[in-house]
Amino acid sequence: MKKRKLLVLTSLFLMVVMLLSSCATHRMMMDGEQYRDTAPTPTSAAAVEALLGAARESNCEELVYLTDIVIDGSDSHKKHIVYNLATNAVVLTVTETLTTRVNVELHEGYNENAYFIVKTTSWQMVESVPDNYTYKTALCAANGSVVAEAEGLLNVQTEFDLLAFDGKCYRMDQNGAIAHAFDLGDFAQLPELTGKANDRYFYGDDDGLVILYDDTCKMLAHYQAPSDASFVIANQLENGNVLVQYLITETEESKDYTFIVSNSGSSIPEGKYTLVTKLIKKSGKVKDLNLDWLLVEVVNNEQGTLAEQMGYARGYDNLAIAFEIVDERIEDEMSKFKLVKVSNSGKVKGEIKQVIEGQIALNFDFIGTNRWVARDVSEREFLINEKGKVIGEVTGAEDSNAVYFIVAGKLYDYDLKMVYDYEAAKQHIYDGDDGIMRHGVLLEDEDGAVVCYANIGATPIIDKDAAREIVTIAQNYFVVADTTDPSNVKYDVYNDVGTKLITLDYLPDDVATFDGMCLLQYISAEGKCVYYRLDVCVD
């Protein structure tokens, strides 16, 4: 649901932008709670009795759709179930009859929240022949509440945080709640949207068209870049206005230009260029600006970005990755970029100190609570905390999870303190890299004994010569088969720090995961699907 704000980029320049900016990643990981581990450790397991016997059909984010067969005398009917893994609640149960059929569709909405629609077909029986069909569609939020119902088999049109249904438009907030926003009408459709800030939507296409809308998708302003424009980039500012930049290629004889490119290694072809900057205002006016900066990407404060959370937010409305034009020259190599503050009037208000020297723009990887890895132009990697402080270099790390860096047979915590030397203990990571889970590491010694090392210490999992075998390793849990009695194998389910959560009679598979929670399923001896939920505890 998150769309980029880049327009009409040639392949060379697009490559530079992709290297410099990982904006979509930043938005994804920083929406919601700040700095938190996005998939905490499961702390308990329990059967989900309401799903017993049902077969999973599909899942989307926190929602799982299942079906079952209900026997009614000599008749059998299909039952439809929608289960919310996050709340451990069945949010829909509907059973077909002799005169109804149901179709359930799960969809991903704004900010990776889910919603679903239920389509029902009903008819009457006239002399045992179906007749007089009627159709109904319901739009439902992830908690099961019916947002709207309408006659007919309808679909939902989505754009950004908007859902159009039966002539009305609904808005989904960051937590997945859906509410009526405005009436759309029977013949209208939502326009395609690229971004939103300060209750203003905007759209930009590959032909250089930029449109600014109000919160009801009424057009406020539009601008079309000229046909000879190249490298068109549109960015929405914090107040909702849109900043547009593009280049016009000038002749070699021209004396009226902004900069010259003479470096054959540049992503912009050699030649003379005029940089054009336009501010598309919500008042409908288009204002010409004179900037000595080429703004590759502008990120506004409403987007909840990594830069905002790293301490850049104070004192700026918008943060930009930019190249400065100096003495009619521009150098657009990665090492020459600068982070600058941009006002809502489109003016550059000064540079921002980089977190590390030679930093590659906003190229941070979120690796665990309050920890990121930043890279410089030489591909060296540095560990950064939530205050933007460099803890140390981690280029040589062989692997990592949400708690540890792994290098040279040792585990280091996220303060880069060595916490365990497993090589000295004559251990190795179990089954290669597969033994590295999100919060713990499975270690095996020369005798085949296995422990799970995590922040609670080393927990024994398999003793020497024990009739036990690890059969499943996932990010947040693992399963050990106990074959002490081959005729009655048991399966112990552990979380990723080595705490046993439950023992099952059959080997489970996870059929859905969401924010650390898992829905496990196995088939019983009677052929029924049995479900268990691994829950998490968030402080």
CA-CA-CA-CA torsion sign (287, 291, 295, 300): negative
149 forms bridges with which residues in the sheet?
138
CA angle 354, 357, 359 (to 5 degrees): 65
d(CA 453, CA 497) in angstroms, rounded, equals: 7
Question: Is the distance from CB of 446 to CB of 11 less than 8 angstroms?
Answer: no
User: What φ, ψ does residue 425 adopt, rounded to 5°?
Assistant: -85, 10
Give per-residue burial for 58-90: e unless 16+ CB within 10 Å, then b: ebbbbbbbbebeeeeeeeeeebbbbbbbbeeeb
Three-class SS of residue 512? strand
d(CA 387, CA 396) in angstroms, rounded, equals: 23
d(CA 108, CA 369) in angstroms, rounded, equals: 26
> Would you give the distance in Å from CA 528 to the centre of its chain?
34
Q: Which residue ranges of the chain lie beneath pLDDT 50?
A: 1-35, 306-308
- For residue 109, give Cα distances in angstroms to 106, 157, 159, 175: 10, 11, 9, 10
DSSP string, 504-521: ESS--EEEEEETTEEEEE
> What per-residue confidence (pLDDT) applies to 363?
64
CA-CA-CA-CA torsion sign (318, 324, 328, 334): negative
d(CA 102, CA 78) in angstroms, rounded, equals: 9
Beta carbons within 10 angstroms of residue 145's beta carbon:
11
Three-class SS of residue 49? helix
Secondary structure (H, E, C), 448-481: CCEEEEECCEEEEEECCCCCEEEEEECCCEEEEE
d(CA 103, CA 294) in angstroms, rounded, equals: 51
d(CA 18, CA 291) in angstroms, rounded, equals: 23
- Name the one residue in this structure whose structure tokens are 């049995």: 530
Sorted by sequence, the CB contacts under 8 Å of residue 295 that are 6+ apart come out as: 233, 235, 243, 245, 320, 321, 322, 342
Three-class SS of residue 379? coil
pTM score: 0.86
Q: How many residues does the chain have?
A: 539
pLDDT digits (tens, 9 = 90+) for 161-179: 999 999 999 999 989 999 9
Which residue, among 525, 438, 445, has the nearest Cα to 477 in the 3D structure? 438
d(CA 414, CA 402) in angstroms, rounded, equals: 9
> What per-residue confidence (pLDDT) applies to 328?
92
Q: Do the strands 450-454 and 441-445 form a parallel or antiparallel pair, or are they unpaired?
A: antiparallel
d(CA 435, CA 419) in angstroms, rounded, equals: 18
d(CA 16, CA 14) in angstroms, rounded, equals: 5
Domain 426-507 fold is Thrombin, subunit H (2.40.10)
Sorted by sequence, the CB contacts under 8 Å of residue 272 that are 6+ apart come out as: 249, 250, 251, 252, 254, 257, 259, 260
Please list the helix, strand and coil fractions of the chain in percent, rounded to the nearest 5, in that order: 10, 50, 40
d(CA 274, CA 249) in angstroms, rounded, equals: 7
The domain locations on the chain are 11-32+193-352, 56-173, 426-507
Which residue, among 296, 291, 243, 290, has the nearest Cα to 268 in the 3D structure? 296
Q: Do the strands 318-326 and 329-330 form a parallel or antiparallel pair, or are they unpaired?
A: antiparallel
> Would you give the distance in Å from CA 19 to the centre of its chain?
19
